[in-house]
Amino acid sequence: MKKLLLLTTNYKFKKVTRVEINSAILNFTKFIPNVESNIVEGSSPPEVFVGRVGYPKVNVGPVLPLEKGDTSIYALHEKWFGKSLEEIAKLRLSLIRTKKKLHVLKSEKFLEELQEILLSKSPVDTEAKLKSKPKGYLLSEDFQPFGPSAYLEYFKATPASSEKRLEKFYYANDVKAGLAIFELWKNKLEISRIQQAISLGMLGIKRKIVPTRWAITAVDSTLSLKLIEEIKNFETINEYRVYSLNYLDNSWVIVLMPKLWSYESLEAWYPGTIFEKEIAIGSDYEPFEGRKNYASIGGCYYSARLAIAEKLFSERRQASAIVFREIHKGYLMPVGVWNVREAVRKALTQEPKKFSSFEEALAYAQTKLFIPMNVWEKYSFILKQRVFQKRLF
């Protein structure tokens, strides 16, 4: 095994700026459209982006492709798994992110128009007049990439027929947001659409606009907590299971153990991704009783937790879970936490390797990872706990 580079516990994502963008991402910017006219026409998937800068007055607006027809693929994270980084960049950086300043607590005609768009079952034909030529792009590990943006001067949309599952809870002002999220999930509405609805303040009793990155994590967290509440009443699984998957140069290993519910997520970012000179490892853990503070590794923690909770809920079983993620240098551009959710979901559909002991499970997991288990142990509460118990015994 190759010698590991320097490891650091100073785990904090650097904000991705133009200065820090690597040459590969600059190559991806070839997909950004050169829009000369300030008139933009296209079919919104439908999709809306809500910023967080300046909160409680934030930028809000529809996201528009420069084409008409069935553009739903542009906004549905659930259909992106399996695409290459270049395909994702081509899909997302070609979108125009329009914007207008709105107060998160104030309703106005423009907000109502946007909500009507999101209620549409299919893409919505739109026409927008921009105040300037759209420019730039937006990248984050929290949400999907966006292309150039510009402020709106004029906007017109022709909503399609309503998505009945969403419409039901849009008009149910007496249903709490958490219950609405759970019911929509049970009725198989895509997580991406539920997140959009939360972002535009379309669900719940006390409604307000929520920045996109917050709404994504809110839905992942709220739904997974509801499922975990149910999972805790089920019998544990009967064996140790190891699931694995590789996608976008991310290595995933999920270990499920025949114990009461607990969950831990560990991430190792390699040089060449968003860290330049060292491997950075971060982790977060929750016991059976849950956690109260926000996870230090951000939205990825809650996206993976949701995928695991969905799997256990479908089996009517509970387990203790560890997620190992190695992000290698081929992951040249952050694409958002949807990647975490969909990768773990996909891994959990595979047939797992099954073992009778924790040691056997970890030994197999090690064959799928580059970083040695004794290094992971330094950052893992569950691994330290098991080793301590073994030594004590």
Is the pLDDT at 10 greater than 70, yes or no?
A: no
Paired tokens of 273: 């991704």
Residue 355 confidence (pLDDT)? 98
The whole-angstrom separation of Cα 310 and Cα 56 is 33
Tell me what the mean pLDDT of segment 349-361 comes to.
97
Query: Would residue 211 count as lying in a domain?
Result: yes
Pairing of strands 320-327, 250-257: antiparallel
Q: Is residue 3 part of a domain?
A: no
Residues 104 and 153 in one domain: yes
Query: 120 and 206 in one domain?
Result: no
User: Per-residue pLDDT for 9 more than 50?
Assistant: no
DSSP string covering 116-128:
HHHHBSS-EEEEE
Q: What is the DSSP string of 305-344?
A: HHHHHHHHHHHTEE-EEEEEEEE-TT--S---THHHHHHH
Neighbours of 260 (CB within 10 A): 13
241 shares its domain with 380: yes
374 in any annotated domain: yes
Name the domain boundary from 162, 179, 214.
162
Residues 301 and 369 in one domain: yes
Q: Is 288 left (phi over 0), alpha (psi -120 to 50) or beta?
A: alpha
Residue 319 and residue 382 share a domain: yes
Which pLDDT belongs to residue 343? Answer: 98
Residues 86, 188, single domain; the answer is no
Mean pLDDT throughout 256-280?
87
pLDDT above 50 (res 18): no
Evaluate if residue 225 carries a pLDDT over 70: yes
Report the pLDDT value the prediction gives residue 6, as an integer from 0 to 100. 41
Same domain, 149 and 169: no
Examine residue 9 and state whether it is found in any structural domain, yes or no.
Answer: no
Question: Same domain, yes or no, for 149 and 24?
Answer: yes
How does residue 22 score in pLDDT terms, banded at 50, 70 and 90? low
Query: Token pair of 324, please?
Result: 């190992």
What's the pLDDT tens digit per position in 26-74?
778 889 988 888 999 999 999 999 999 999 999 999 999 999 999 999 9
Note whether residue 1 is domain-resident: no
Q: Are residues 51 and 158 in the same domain?
A: yes
> Which pLDDT score is estimated for 214?
96
The verdict on 240 and 388 lying in the same domain is yes
360 with 245, same domain: the answer is: yes
| Amino acid 14: pLDDT | 39
pLDDT of residue 19: 32
**328 inside domain:** yes
Model confidence at 3: pLDDT above 80: no
Cα(110)–Cα(102) distance, rounded to whole angstroms? 9
Examine the domain organization and report whether 111 and 220 are in the same domain. Answer: no
Residue 2, in any domain of the structure: no
Q: How confident is the model at residue 274 (pLDDT cuts 50, 70, 90)?
A: low
Q: Examine the fold and report which residue of 135, 162, 189 is the final residue of a domain before the chain moves on.
A: 162
- Number of domains present in the structure of the chain: 3
66 found inside a domain: yes
Confidence band, pLDDT 50/70/90 cuts, at residue 11? very low
Do residues 185 and 101 make contact, with C-beta atoms less than 8 angstroms apart? no
Q: Which two tokens stand for residue 372?
A: 């040695």
pLDDT for 4? 37
Residue 223 has pLDDT above 90, yes or no: yes
Distance CA 31, CA 154 (A): 26
The angle subtended at Cα 282 by Cα 277 and Cα 287, nearest 5°, is 175
Task: Please report the pLDDT score of residue 62 as a whole number.
Answer: 96
* pLDDT at residue number 35: 87
User: Is the peptide bond preceding residue 46 cis, with omega within 30 degrees of 0?
Assistant: yes
Torsion region of 75: left, alpha or beta (phi above 0 gives left; psi -120 to 50 gives alpha): alpha
The SS3 assignment for 23 reads helix
Mean pLDDT rounded to a whole number for the chain: 91
Percent of the chain's residues with pLDDT above 70:
91
Least confident of 59-63, 106-110, 207-211: 106-110
Q: Which domain holds residue 199?
A: 165-226
Domain boundary among 185, 207, 226: 226
